Amino acid sequence: MSDVSRLLYVDSDTDTAASRAAVLSDEYGFEVYTAGDIDTATTALQTNAIECVISEFELGDADGFDLLSHIRSDYGSLPVILLTDDEPTTVDSGAFKSGTTALFRRSEIDDSFDPLVDRIHELHRQATERQETVGVDDAAGGGREADRGEATSAGGAAQREQSGATIPLDSLLDAWATGDLRRERLEALGKDELITLLLELQDMSIAAADDVDAPHPTAAESGVSERPPNLDLSPGTKFLVQSTGQDDRKYDLHRDLLGLDDEHAHNVLLIRYRPFPPERLETIASNALNVTVISVGCHQPIPPAVRDSIETIRITNPGDVRRLGILATRIVNQWRKLTAGIRVSIDPLQTLFNYKAVEAVFRFMHALLGKLSSRGAVTQVHVNPSAAGVQNTNTIKMLFDYLLTVDSQGVTLEDI
C-alpha cells in the first residue's frame, strides 16, 4: 500500500511485538520483522533491507537511545520511531540532532494504528529527501552533512537549521522584502550563510509568484455582488474559503471574516503557509487588538510601522502539525481571557497536503478546528481546489459550517 515495505518492530515483550507486527502486516501490508533486544535488532538490520524501525523506548537493560545510537552509527538516516509514554519535551532532544527520528506516544495506537502508519510514511519521505539533498550537495562539491540543514522538495518549501549567521537571517529577509538589502551586509556572510539566504529568498519568490494569478472580473464586470450578505460570524463558526486566485475580492472577504471594520477590534491569529503581502498585514495590525502571525515553512516580512504590535512565530517544518496545534491553542487560550473576539485565518491549506496524507490533514484539522471553535474563534481556512485536489478539498469540507467560493461568478455562500 505504500513505498515503505519492510519494518523492524523491537519490543522486549515478544508477545506484544508479535501482536502488533501481525496488525501492521495483515491490515497495512507491511513485511514486519521483530526483535526482543538490541543484539537481535542488529542481526535483523544486517540481514534484511529494513526501511523503518519501530521500537519501545524501554528495552530491558537498555533503552531506545542505545538502539538509536547504533542505527545512526551504521545506518545513517534510517527512520526510527520510539514508542514512549512520556511527553516529547521530557526526553532528551539531543538524540534527534541527526537522522530521521520521532517520538510517538504509545497511547495513540490504542484505538487505531493509522497515526503510526502516517508517521512511518512521513519519516520515510523525510529520509528520502535528506538522502537526495546530501547527494546533490556532494555532487556539487559542497560536502555538507545533512545535519547542517534540511531541504524538502515538496511544494518548494524548505526546512533548514540556521548555521549561526553573524547577521540574523530574518533581518536580511526583511531587508530584501523592503528593498533595503545592501551589498555590505551580504559581503559579511560566510558561504553556508549565503546559501541559506539564497534558498530562503527562492522560497519567498516562489510564494510571491503563486500569488500572481490571472485577475477575476470585478463586481461591475461580472454583474454579481463581491461580498455575500448575512455572513454568520457567531463565535465558533468555521468557514472554508475556496478560490483559485489572489484578487481583491478574496482579500475583501478575508477582511470581512476578520471583522476589521467592526466597532470593536478583535484578536487576530494568522497561520500562513506563504508570506502575506506586507501592506495588507499592516492594515490588519492597524485595525485589530492583538495580532499573532505563525509562518509555516516561509518567512513573513513585517512592515516596520507595525513591527512592535505583531507577534511572530516561525515553524520551519511545514509538516510539524503537532507544534502548530500546540501554538495555536495556546494563543487562543490566552486571548480567551479577554473580552474581545477571536478571529483565525489559515492560508493556504493546500501546502499541507504536500507533507501529509489527506487522512492526516483531516484528523489534524478536525482537532484544531474543534479547539478553536470551543474557544469562540471565528475561523476561515483558505484552499485552492485545483492545487489541493478536488477530492482532498471535498474530504475536509465536512469539517466546516459554511463554504465560501470565489470564482468567475463572484462570491457565493453555501451551508455545509
Per-residue pLDDT tens digits for 86-131? 544 444 444 444 446 777 877 778 778 988 998 888 888 877 776 6
What is the arithmetic mean of pLDDT over 177-199?
63
CA angle 132, 135, 137 (to 5 degrees): 110
Q: Does residue 254 sit in the same domain as residue 375?
A: yes
Q: What is the pTM of this model?
A: 0.52
Lowest mean pLDDT among 110-124, 253-267, 364-378: 110-124
Q: How far is CA 201 from CA 157, 170, 205, 347, in A?
A: 11, 11, 6, 20
Q: Where is the domain boundary, 165, 189, 210?
A: 210
Report yes or no on 58 lying in a domain: yes
The CA distance from 413 to 335, in Å, is 29
Q: Does residue 311 sit in the same domain as residue 410?
A: yes
The CA distance from 254 to 258, in Å, is 6
- Residue 303, number of CB atoms within 10 A of its CB: 19
What's the pLDDT at 238?
A: 97
Lowest mean pLDDT among 119-133, 234-248, 293-307, 342-356: 119-133
What's the pLDDT at 163?
A: 33
The CA distance from 270 to 40, in Å, is 49
Q: How do 80-84 and 267-272 pair as beta strands?
A: unpaired
Which residue's C-alpha cell is 475536509?
A: 396
Q: Where is the domain boundary, 165, 191, 210?
A: 210
Q: Does residue 173 sit in the same domain as residue 238?
A: no
Q: How big is the chain, counted in residues? A: 416
What's the pLDDT at 173?
A: 61
The CA distance from 206 to 200, in Å, is 10
Enter the C-alpha cell of residue 82: 520510539
Q: Does residue 204 sit in the same domain as residue 223?
A: no
Q: Does residue 244 sit in the same domain as residue 198?
A: no
pLDDT tens figures, 316-357 = 888 889 999 999 999 999 998 777 899 999 999 998 988 888
Q: How far from the centroid of its chain's Cα atoms is residue 396's Cα?
A: 16
Report yes or no on 410 lying in a domain: yes
Q: Give which of 207, 284, 372, 173 is closest to 293, Cα–Cα.
A: 284
Q: Does residue 44 sit in the same domain as residue 157?
A: no
Report yes or no on 153 lying in a domain: yes
Ramachandran quadrant class, 340 (left: phi over 0; alpha: psi -120 to 50; beta: rest): beta
Q: Where is the domain boundary, 106, 132, 158?
A: 132
Enter the C-alpha cell of residue 84: 514512549
Report yes or no on 280 lying in a domain: yes
pLDDT of 223 higher than 60: no
Lowest mean pLDDT among 44-53, 134-143, 233-242, 319-328: 134-143
What's the pLDDT at 192?
A: 60
Percent of the chain with pLDDT over 70: 70
Query: Strand, coil or helix: what is 401?
Result: coil
Q: How far from the centroid of its chain's Cα atoms is residue 24's Cα?
A: 26
Q: Does residue 203 sit in the same domain as residue 228?
A: no
pLDDT of 151 higher than 50: no
Q: Does residue 170 sit in the same domain as residue 103?
A: no
Radius of gyration of the chain (CA): 23
Enter the C-alpha cell of residue 210: 503563486
Range of the domain at 158: 149-210
Lowest mean pLDDT among 4-8, 285-289, 337-341: 337-341
Q: Does residue 20 sit in the same domain as residue 127?
A: yes
Report yes or no on 144 lying in a domain: no
Q: Does residue 237 sit in the same domain as residue 351?
A: yes
Enter the C-alpha cell of residue 122: 512521513
Enter the C-alpha cell of residue 386: 485545483
Helix (H) or strand (E) holding 238: strand 238-243
Q: How do 62-63 and 402-407 pair as beta strands?
A: unpaired
The CA distance from 295 to 280, in Å, is 15
User: For 354-409, where are the E strands, in sequence order?
Assistant: 377-383, 402-407
Report yes or no on 138 lying in a domain: no
Report yes or no on 338 lying in a domain: yes
Number of domains in the chain: 3
Residues 6+ apart with CB under 8 A from 112: none
The CATH number covering residue 396 comes to 3.40.50.300
Q: Does residue 372 sit in the same domain as residue 333?
A: yes
pLDDT of 179 higher than 60: no
DSSP classification of residue 215: P
